[in-house]
């Protein structure tokens, strides 16, 4: 590493990217994006130890004049002299140029945080920024310009994918994603929260791997008590987090929230057309496609493949554990009972939520699953499979939680269980599994060897039918 000793959990890939940029002898335009609260600012501040030639942070929903005034004050402090008021963003960036030219030939790092909040939609800010970089920054070998923000869709469309003045100009894009389960475990240990992996998974399925949420956990409380404290206790640390989460990203946030609400009502997600229908639209027009893309860019939705009755479908499911938990439990109950989550510890609705959320957890850690199966290097496609009931053939509906269709002519059909005790396959359970396998094989276009795989958090009991299972993975495999 070129800068200070880091106090970071995970983020090795992102640190390597920053190391590479700092080692270059040409100008660097770095775009850092990711979900709100995921730790973007912390990463950049920690990596550079807050040593910047200039740092500025946009303010949410502030008028253009106020943003310019703040920029002026920050630049005046950095330069050590009072600058005249800026009339527009061109003035601001010309003043930044003049200041940077006084700093000599050393590496100069400019960090603009929450950059999308500086754009009022008129186009003035983006045009001034483009001119600054193309006319000045792109010719300065010792300049590192970092644009950061939670509005991932804006940064992707304007600075990375855009066809305007920034086309092919960015040097590096750094996507900061939530912690994995393993990184979450390390983070919790760093704040002196020592839980079992089962507890960590329970917490993750409610909050996700969001550092800001995790740092509010208390070691003197259980997982359920912590969630009550943060989400159900009035004015707890995450009491109004959901409202801020979407309002800070989207100008007309209610339209995006309605989509998320519709998707969160289902276990496996919705197709684009089903999303449109849920909103009272006859067809999925360009507006819905744009919103689905924006929500996916920002990490709230995940598009994945599913085979339904032999037809390949693209489904959109909620990718943000916190959002899903909010719609399922928090929204309707946080005003009623401060210990609501603890009261549900043995309830059917909580067990059902744990079951299908654990399926998502396996999907989201699929590389860990493949590594545990010893097929990390085998090319494969991953999807869910389902078949409707067929009354004429007297066939019940069937669902396979996870299919790993491999290029080595093997397919892992995965049954996922989040039971509190080791999963047991008795005679009746085996008949159900066998029926699923037969139904899948009858529908499969390519004949492959089937490996029945059980992803059970607590493993399996060794009954007479256990020998028919090819592989059993416990929760530890996801870490």
Average pLDDT, the chain: 93
Q: What kind of fold does domain 12-176 have according to CATH?
A: Rossmann fold (3.40.50)
261 and 246 Cβ atoms separated by less than 8 Å: no
With cut-offs at 50, 70 and 90, classify the pLDDT of residue 170: low
pLDDT above 60: residue 395: yes
How far apart CA 19 and CA 181 sit, in angstroms, is 25
CB 458 within 8 A of CB 421: yes
Span of 210-224, 436-450, 465-479 with lowest mean pLDDT: 436-450
Q: Which residue has the tokens 């210990």?
A: 339
pLDDT band, residue 321 (cuts 50/70/90): very high
pLDDT of residue 165: 67
Interatomic CA distance for residues 96 and 413, integer angstroms: 58
State the Rg of the chain over Cα: 25
> What pLDDT, on the 0 to 100 scale, is given for residue 351?
96
CA distances to 205, 216, 294, 466 from 291, in Å: 25, 31, 5, 46
Q: What pLDDT sits at residue 177? A: 95
Q: Are 232 and 340 in contact (CB under 8 A)?
A: yes
pLDDT digits (tens, 9 = 90+) for 11-51: 999 999 999 999 999 999 999 999 999 999 999 999 999 99
Q: Do 12-176 and 365-478 have matching folds?
A: no
Q: CA-CA distance, 274 to 319, in Å (whole number)?
A: 17
Q: Are the C-beta atoms of 155 and 149 separated by less than 8 Å?
A: yes
- Give the span between the Cα atoms of 137 and 20, in whole angstroms: 18
Q: Identify the pLDDT of residue 99.
A: 98
220 or 153: which leads in pLDDT: 220
How far is the C-alpha of 381 from the C-alpha of 63, rounded, in Å? 48
Mean pLDDT score, 183-199: 97
Residues 64 and 158: their CA atoms lie apart, in Å, by 19
- Where do the structural domains in the chain lie, given as residue ranges? 12-176, 181-239+334-359, 244-325, 365-478
Q: What counts of helices (H) and strands (E) characterise the chain?
A: 20, 12
**What is the average per-residue pLDDT within 377-392?**
91
Task: For residue range 63-122, list pLDDT tens digits in order.
Answer: 999 999 999 999 999 999 999 999 999 999 999 999 999 998 999 999 999 999 999 999
Could you report the per-residue pLDDT of 268-312, keeping only the tens digit for each?
Answer: 999 999 999 999 988 888 899 999 999 999 999 999 999 998 899
**How far apart, in whole angstroms, are the C-alpha atoms of residue 163 and residue 245?**
29
Structural contact between residues 177 and 38, judged by C-beta atoms closer than 8 angstroms: yes
Band of pLDDT at residue 4, cut at 50, 70 and 90: very low
pLDDT for position 150: 92
d(CA 181, CA 361): 9
CA angle 417, 208, 30 (to 5 degrees): 130
What kind of architecture, by CATH, is found in domain 244-325?
A: Orthogonal Bundle (1.10)
- Cα separation, 40 vs 44, in Å, equals 7
- State mean pLDDT over 146-175: 85
pLDDT (0 to 100) of residue 3: 43
Q: Which residue has the tokens 């399926």?
A: 359
Model confidence at 149: pLDDT above 60: yes
Q: Are 232 and 333 contacting, i.e. CB atoms less than 8 angstroms apart?
A: yes
% of the chain beyond a pLDDT of 90: 84
pTM of the model: 0.92
Exposure of 420 by Cβ count < 10 A (0-12 exposed, 13-18 middle, 19+ buried)? exposed
Kindly state the average pLDDT of the residues 327-338: 90
pLDDT, mean of residues 431-436 = 93
Average of pLDDT values for 350-362?
Answer: 97
In the chain, the percentage of residues whose pLDDT exceeds 70 is 97
Total residues found in the chain within this entry: 479
Residue for token digits 């043995």?
A: 346
pLDDT for 164 beyond 80: no
Residue 57 parent element (H or E)? strand 54-57
- DSSP H helices, 373-455, are 427-443
Residue 335: band (very low, low, confident or very high) from pLDDT cuts 50, 70, 90: confident
Average pLDDT value for residue range 331-354: 93
Answer whether residue 428 shows pLDDT above 80: yes
- Rounded Cα distance between 263 and 258, Å, is 9
Give the architecture (CATH level 2) of 365-478: 3-Layer(aba) Sandwich (3.40)
Decide: helix, strand or coil at residue 115: helix
Closest residue by Cα to residue 361 from 392, 324, 308, 391 = 324
Number of neighbours of residue 206 by Cβ within 10 angstroms: 26
């Amino acid at each position: 590493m070129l800068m200070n000793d880091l106090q970071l959990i995970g983020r090795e890939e992102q640190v390597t990217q920053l190391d590479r940029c700092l080692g270059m002898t040409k100008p660097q335009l770095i775009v850092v994006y990711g979900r709100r609260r995921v730790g973007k600012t912390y990463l950049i501040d920690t990596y550079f130890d807050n040593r910047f030639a200039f740092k500025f942070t946009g303010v949410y929903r502030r008028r253009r004049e106020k943003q310019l005034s703040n920029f002026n004050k920050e630049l005046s402090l950095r330069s050590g002299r009072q600058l005249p008021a800026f009339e527009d963003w061109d003035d601001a960036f010309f003043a930044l140029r003049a200041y940077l030219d006084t700093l000599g030939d050393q590496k100069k790092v400019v960090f603009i945080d929450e950059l999308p909040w500086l754009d009022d939609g008129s186009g003035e800010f983006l045009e001034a920024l483009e001119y600054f970089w193309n006319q000045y920054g792109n010719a300065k070998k010792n300049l590192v310009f970092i644009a950061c923000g939670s509005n991932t869709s804006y940064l992707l469309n304007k600075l990375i994918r855009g066809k305007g003045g920034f086309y092919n100009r960015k040097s590096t894009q750094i996507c900061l994603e939530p912690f994995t389960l393993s990184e979450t475990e390390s983070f919790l240990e760093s704040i002196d929260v020592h839980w079992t992996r089962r507890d960590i998974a329970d917490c993750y399925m409610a909050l996700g791997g969001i550092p800001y949420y995790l740092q509010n956990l208390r070691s003197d409380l259980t997982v359920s008590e912590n969630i009550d404290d943060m989400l159900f206790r009035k004015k707890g640390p995450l009491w109004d987090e959901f409202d801020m989460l979407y309002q800070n990203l989207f100008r007309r946030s209610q339209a995006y929230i309605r989509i998320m609400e519709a998707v969160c009502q289902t276990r496996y997600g919705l197709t684009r057309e089903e999303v449109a229908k849920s909103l009272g639209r006859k067809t999925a027009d360009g507006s819905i496609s744009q919103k689905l893309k924006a929500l996916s860019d920002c990490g709230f939705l995940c598009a994945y493949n599913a085979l339904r009755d032999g037809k390949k479908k693209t489904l959109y499911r909620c990718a943000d554990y916190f959002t899903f938990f909010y719609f399922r439990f928090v929204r309707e109950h946080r005003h009623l009972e401060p210990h609501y989550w603890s009261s549900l510890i043995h309830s059917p609705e909580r067990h059902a939520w744990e079951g299908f959320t654990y399926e998502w957890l396996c999907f989201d850690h699929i590389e860990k699953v493949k590594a545990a199966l010893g097929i990390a290097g085998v090319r494969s496609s991953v999807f869910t499979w389902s078949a409707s009931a067929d009354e004429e053939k007297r066939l019940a509906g069937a669902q396979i939680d996870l299919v790993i269709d491999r290029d080595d002519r093997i397919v892992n059909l995965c049954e996922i269980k989040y039971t509190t005790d080791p999963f047991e396959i008795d005679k009746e359970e085996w008949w159900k599994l066998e029926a699923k396998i037969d139904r899948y094989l009858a529908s499969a276009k390519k004949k492959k060897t089937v490996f029945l795989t059980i992803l059970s958090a607590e493993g399996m009991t060794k009954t007479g039918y256990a020998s028919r299972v090819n592989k059993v993975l416990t929760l530890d495999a996801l870490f």
